[in-house]
Chains A and B, each alone.
Chain A
């Protein structure tokens, strides 16, 4: 890594970004903080309530359930997508026309608007008009994602795996391509098994991209909203209501400004913590290189 020049005038170049993101991030954040300590009926009828909303939110059992569901969901999809993504990346050809084709085909789900992903699975999973739903009833499973919580979960997880495994696969693929051919030649001379090649040559090179992949997948699944909203609307009951969904329900549906703001802040703090841990890890790894 080249050493950078110390120059505080560089701030002038960063200023536009700072201003535009500050407008969209800091002003709203301040507003959320303001809302979170008041009971607001309209801008002129409001009362300072201190930390009451925070207490209410932190002790709200519905939110505990949503948080628990969120964690189970995020870890489930990570547990499926990371190994599956690695497998797909290992199977992808590295040279020639096939490589480009595979790359494009695998990337397609990533380019689909999130609500359309929801729509696709909404259609695909229905027993009367969808292939997957019809297949499930054909093999004798009584499958209905709109009324059975387990089926709804299965569909939401399947949808996310379908949607985002390509991301992990693409990251791993680009990590694998960075391994020089010499390494494989050396392994061949040593008569290393396929597993040994993976364990001692490929996996170490993949840790870097995998950390980024896990970061992105964890964060994005932690704020998932659109896909389950379109697919199940959070139901049946509240079985697929994740954090963003319950927040939107509270903020827009019931217009409970105070509690929604307190909830937002707690949510944001969790995100900030996780994000910082990953950022520090990634930056330290880059420094070591």
Chain B
């Protein structure tokens, strides 16, 4: 309130203060990011070393740069099939989740109906339920219907958390689309399916992309269910990695290389979803 009296000096002091704070902020952020990336860097660094070099001492750069670890993964079918299996069931899961979640999210964002809130909560509770709780019955269920060790079994099992995620994220995006658009389209004589596919889906294209990314992500990072529901034919890379860990005589270089390869898919697409990354992780509630 008194600022009008001696505005000029105060303002400049405040500005200097702000600039200092800004500088401190930048420094803190850089420090944080460096600490954040250090473990990842260590993994990458290790994946280019030979095992003898890894065990002989610490170094920030591989002295004896080698691609042998990666070569081993790409030449051994038990290894690279793990990636193929993972990508296969993850993509399947992504498609299923999007197909069922799109109409449901539309219903939640546009209509009130009996039990809507309870349904929404039930979906959320499935996202929150620990996979360990469902482990045994899943195993029995998929064995009894003859789906054990198939990709579709894992894809369906992962639906338990990706479908709620997809519905919540999409609902968030759809609520941002004004309802007048729907009404105008109906007045213009569009039927619901035609309106939905021709007009509505293009409108929330970016939302669908983000949702697809997050379905992919959450299915990709999960290990417990994927490991329990597969044995040979559909074994995911994550499970193959843990098996290597328990084997005698650790092949650290190989393990690091396999780890690096699992990080890559996320890194490739994060750029496209950077502005929605918070929304996705927060189930569309930001």
Contact = CB atoms under 8 A, between A and B. Distances in A.
Direct touching of A and B (C-beta under 8 Å): yes
Interface of A: 2, 4-11, 13-14, 16-18, 20-21, 23-25, 27-29, 31-32, 35, 87-88, 90-93, 100, 102-116, 119-124, 128-132, 134, 162, 166-167, 170-171, 173-175, 188-191, 194, 209, 212-213, 216, 219, 222-223, 225-226, 229-230, 243-245, 247-248, 251-252, 257, 260-261, 264, 267-268, 271-272, 275-276, 279, 282-283
Given A124-B42, A216-B281, A225 B28 contact: no
Secondary structure type dominating chain B contacts: helix
Interface in B25-45: 25-26, 28-29, 32-33, 36-40, 42-43
A225 B122 CA distance: 23
Contact of A264 (B104, B133, B267): B133
Nearest to B239: A115
A231 to B, nearest CB: 10
B283 interface: yes
Contact of B271 (A13, A88, A104, A261): A104
Contacts of A175: 286
B282 A213 contact: yes
B1 A190 contact: yes
Contacts of B167: 17
Contacts, number: 295
Contact of A112 (B32, B132, B252, B266): B266
A190 B138 CA distance: 61
A7 B137 contact: no
A119 B241 contact: yes
A263 to B, nearest CB: 9
Contacts of A225: 130-132, 223-224
Contacts of A27: 137, 141
A249 to B, nearest CB: 10
A105 B221 contact: no
Main SS at interface, chain A: helix
B157 A116 contact: no
A213 B286 CA distance: 10
Contacts of B203: none
A131 B58 contact: yes
Given A32-B133, A112-B262, A162 B141 contact: no
Given A5-B112, A130-B42, A271-B129, A10 B107 contact: yes
A131 B113 contact: no
Contacts of A35: 136-137
B199 interface: no
A6 B228 contact: no
